[in-house]
Amino acid sequence: MDNESSAEDIVKRRSIFFRSFGIYTEVGGFYDYGPIGLRIKRNVESAWRALFPEGLGLLEVETSIVLPEIVLKASGHLATFTDPVGICSTCKTAHRLDKTLEEYYEKKGDAEGMAQVKKMKLDELASKINELGIKCNKCGGVIGSPENFNLMFKTQMGQKSTDVAYLRPETAQGIFVDFKEIYRSHGLKLPCGISQVGKVFRNEISPRQQLVRVREFTQMETEIFIDKDAKFEGFGGVDMRRVEAEKLPFIKRGTNNEVELSIKELLADGAIPNEYFAIMLYKEKELIELLGIEKGRYRFRQLEKEELPHYSMGNVDLEVKTSYGYIEVSGNAHRSDYDLSSHAKMSGKDLTVISNEKKVLPHVIEASIGVDRLLFSVIDGAAKDDGRGWKVLALKKAAAPYLCAVFPLQKDDKLIEKAKEIEGMLVANKIPAFYSDSGSIGKRYAKADEIGVPSAITIDFETLNDGMVTIRDRDTSKQVRKKIEEIFELVV
Residue 309 in this model has a pLDDT that exceeds 90: no
pLDDT at 469 (0 to 100): 97
Task: Report the DSSP pairing between strands 468-473 and 455-459.
Answer: antiparallel
Mean pLDDT, rounded, for 291-302: 97
Do 160 and 141 belong to one domain?
Answer: no
Do 407 and 317 belong to one domain?
Answer: no
pLDDT at 115 (0 to 100): 85
pLDDT at 114 (0 to 100): 87
| DSSP codes joined into one string, 33-80 | E-HHHHHHHHHHHHHHHHHTTTTTT-EE----SEEEHHHHHHHTHHHH
Residue 339 in this model has a pLDDT that exceeds 60: yes
* Element at 226 (helix H, strand E): strand 216-226
pLDDT at 221 (0 to 100): 98
Residue 137 in this model has a pLDDT that exceeds 90: no
The reply to whether 23 falls in a domain is no
pLDDT at 168 (0 to 100): 97
Residue 233 in this model has a pLDDT that exceeds 70: yes
pLDDT at 345 (0 to 100): 97
Rg (the chain; Cα; Å): 25
Residue 3 in this model has a pLDDT that exceeds 50: no
Task: Report the DSSP pairing between strands 363-370 and 216-226.
Answer: antiparallel
Instruction: List all residues 6 or more positions away from 26 whose beta carbon is below 8 Å from its beta carbon.
Output: 19
- As for how many domains the chain has, the answer is 3
- Phi, psi for 431 (deg, rounded to 5): -110, 110
pLDDT in tens, 432-453: 999 999 999 999 999 999 999 9
Between residues 138 and 340, which one has the greater pLDDT? 340
Do 90 and 211 belong to one domain?
Answer: no
pLDDT at 317 (0 to 100): 98
pLDDT at 1 (0 to 100): 40
Task: Report the residue count for the chain.
Answer: 492
Residue where a domain terminates, one of 96, 115, 150: 150
Q: Which of 51, 119, 117, 1 shows the shortest CA–CA distance to 289?
A: 51
Name the region of 341 (left: φ>0; alpha: ψ -120 to 50; beta: rest).
alpha
The reply to whether 134 falls in a domain is yes
Q: What percent of the chain is modeled with pLDDT above 90?
A: 84
pLDDT at 118 (0 to 100): 84
Q: In this predicted structure, which of 234-238, 269-273, 310-314 has the lowest mean pLDDT? A: 310-314
Do 374 and 448 belong to one domain?
Answer: no
The reply to whether 393 falls in a domain is no
Cβ-in-10-Å burial (0-12, 13-18, 19+) of 300 comes to buried
Do 373 and 304 belong to one domain?
Answer: yes
- Phi, psi for 165 (deg, rounded to 5): -145, 175
Residue where a domain terminates, one of 349, 381, 413: 381
Give the C-alpha separation, 344 to 366, whole Å: 19
The reply to whether 355 falls in a domain is yes
Give the C-alpha separation, 189 to 225, whole Å: 9
Do 86 and 49 belong to one domain?
Answer: no
Mean pLDDT, the chain, rounded, equals 94
Mean pLDDT, rounded, for 45-51: 98
**Contact in structure between 278 and 263 (CB atoms under 8 Å):** yes
* Element at 277 (helix H, strand E): helix 275-290
Mean pLDDT, rounded, for 456-470: 96
CATH code of the domain containing 95:
3.30.40.230
pLDDT at 311 (0 to 100): 84
Do 65 and 179 belong to one domain?
Answer: yes
Do 165 and 211 belong to one domain?
Answer: yes
Instruction: Give this prediction's pTM.
Output: 0.92
Give the HSE-up count for residue 385: Cα atoms under 13 Å, Cβ half-sphere.
9
Q: How far is CA 332 from CA 89, 137, 243, 274, in A?
A: 38, 33, 16, 12
pLDDT at 100 (0 to 100): 92
The reply to whether 276 falls in a domain is yes
pLDDT at 2 (0 to 100): 40
Do 170 and 243 belong to one domain?
Answer: yes
| DSSP codes joined into one string, 174-212 | HHHHHHHHHHHHTT--SSEEEEEEEEEE---SS-BTTTT
What's CA 245's distance to the chain center, in Å? Answer: 26
Give the C-alpha separation, 146 to 33, whole Å: 35
CATH code of the domain containing 369:
3.30.930.10
Identify the domain containing residue 267 by its residue range: 34-79+153-381
Between residues 316 and 313, which one has the greater pLDDT? 316
Do 272 and 414 belong to one domain?
Answer: no
Residue where a domain terminates, one of 347, 381, 415: 381
Give the C-alpha separation, 85 to 125, whole Å: 9
CATH code of the domain containing 416:
3.40.50.800
Do 197 and 312 belong to one domain?
Answer: yes
Q: Which of 369, 372, 374 shows the shortest CA–CA distance to 172?
A: 369
The reply to whether 4 falls in a domain is no
Residue 154 in this model has a pLDDT that exceeds 80: yes
The reply to whether 73 falls in a domain is yes
Give the C-alpha separation, 416 to 175, whole Å: 50
pLDDT in tens, 78-124: 988 888 999 999 998 889 999 899 889 988 989 889 888 988 989 99
The reply to whether 14 falls in a domain is no
Do 115 and 186 belong to one domain?
Answer: no
